[in-house]
Structure 1
Amino acid sequence: MRIGTVAKRSGLSTRTIDYYTQMGLLSFERSASNYRLYPESVLETLKEIQLLKDRRMTLDEIKVLMDMKPVSSPALQEVKEEIAHLQEKILSLKEELSEAAPEERHMIKEEIQLKMIPLLQLMTTLLS
């Protein structure tokens, strides 16, 4: 699909898509008339870039991450899917917390903190 279509379907400007392309974040092919043609998968790539930007990663950091050779492991894929699902739930909970009463907000935060300790310990063990 051409850059205009990608822009319309992704909600991004053509300038942003062009910039991401120049950085090497988006792959494309050239048409016979020299237009850039993006694969359908570019929309998922753009969602991933936005998710990483929402985590406060720079475009240079995102580029390094995207250039890394993917590891094919079913367990790793499952963990990645669970992390993505958890991120969605956390964003949803964050919205709920903004509307919750202060006491309820405090109780929820306390409960999350208690549940995070074993998870953080497990992640630290995994990554060391």
Structure 2
Amino acid sequence: MKPKKPDNVVYSDEMGYHANITPYPTHVGAPVIKTDDIVSWKNIGIHKVNKEMESKFLELKNQYENLMKEYQYNEMVYNATFQFEPVVGEIYHLYKGINGKNFLSLIAPQEWNKEHLGTFRLNSDKKWILIEQ
């Protein structure tokens, strides 16, 4: 049986006494090892990431809502009745007909007494852009 070394002695059979090369303090007079406050660092990081994600989510949500409005306007105009081929860049007015079916016209709302649903312009992508509702 080997003689037991005291607990405060840094010794191993392979390296011998090696207290001077350890990356940690080995005696009572050494500086105290303190762990970093990782919890607050993590909380700050989580808060910043959550804010960024929320901002991106709200931006995407806003884009989605605008896209759905554009889709609804385009569906409404394309499902309307018109007896002419619309010209890109021109302004057209959408009205509710007597039979409940929407129709597209060149006549402005102030020129006659029909229920005006919106004023649209046809862009080069054949998409109807709402100008006035």
TM-score, normalised to structure 2, is 0.25
The structure with more helix, counted as a fraction of residues: 1
TM-score, normalised to structure 1, is 0.26
The structure with more strand, counted as a fraction of residues: 2
